[in-house]
């Protein structure tokens, strides 16, 4: 749900957009339903069903426990190489919402990057986490984002409607505060990125 402006824009220009989800979301025993929901949701954003890849490994259930980033990074690298990916987009070190699994995705990519394991032509960008104030000022954050960010995706009206339709497909997660998110979150309207930075290997 955080990446909808990006997915909507890229999928309108290319068929070579892939979604890799590293968990089925089975923490509450709803993994099978959530896999189907994800496929339907990203189809609303223009991504073909065959381009949605969902890992189903016991070690990577969503939940409060941290993942083994080094091991996860090997699974991610396998997909990057098999699909000949040249741009990777993921969460930043704060995970937008602070979710430990989002941060785990970042750390796995960071591990690959810092250890020189990614193919030489692969570029990595991370979705920027911002202050709580900016996060919930809806489309008004476009003003700040335009001036502060070099890498930016902005949803047009059609893509905003597609994002709403996609979110409605996540029926197992559509609790009351998700409706507020759909109205007030800037991530429905704009995504800003920064390039990943080299860090000392773990």
pLDDT of residue 177: 85
Residue 125 belongs to what H/E stretch? strand 123-127
What pLDDT score was predicted for residue 29? 79
Interior angle at CA 125, CA 16 and CA 80, nearest 5: 45
Please report, for residues 41, 146, 161, 162, the alpha-carbon distance to residue 48 in angstroms, rounded to integers and kept in the order given. Answer: 11, 30, 18, 14
Q: Could you tell me if residue 182 is inside a domain? A: yes
> pLDDT at position 156, please?
94
Low pLDDT (below 50) residues in the chain: 200-202
pLDDT value of position 73: 96
The pLDDT score that the predictor gives to residue 201 is 47
Inside any domain, residue 117: yes
For the chain, how many structural domains are there in total?
1
pLDDT of residue 199: 60
Domain that residue 77 falls in:
4-192
For residue 159, is it within any domain?
yes
- How confident is the model over 16-65, as pLDDT tens digits? 999 999 988 877 777 889 999 999 999 999 999 999 999 988 777 777 88
């Amino acid at each position: 749900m955080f990446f909808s402006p990006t997915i909507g824009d890229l999928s309108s220009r290319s068929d070579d957009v892939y979604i890799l989800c590293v968990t089925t979301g089975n923490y509450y025993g709803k993994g099978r339903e959530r896999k189907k929901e994800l496929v339907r949701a990203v189809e609303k954003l223009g991504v073909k069903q065959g381009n949605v890849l969902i890992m189903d490994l016991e070690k990577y259930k969503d939940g409060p426990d941290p993942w083994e980033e080094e091991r996860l990074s090997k699974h991610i690298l396998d997909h990057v190489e098999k699909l000949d990916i040249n741009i990777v987009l993921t969460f930043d070190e704060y995970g937008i919402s602070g979710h430990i699994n989002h941060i785990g995705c970042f750390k796995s990519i960071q591990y690959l990057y810092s250890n020189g394991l990614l193919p030489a032509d692969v570029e990595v960008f991370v979705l920027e986490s911002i202050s709580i104030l900016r996060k919930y000022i809806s489309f008004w954050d476009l003003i700040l984002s335009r001036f502060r960010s070099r890498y930016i995706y902005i949803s047009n009206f059609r893509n905003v409607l597609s994002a709403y339709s996609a979110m409605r497909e996540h029926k197992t997660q559509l609790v009351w505060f998700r409706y507020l998110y759909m109205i007030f979150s800037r991530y429905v309207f704009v995504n800003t990125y920064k390039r990943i930075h080299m860090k000392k290997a773990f």
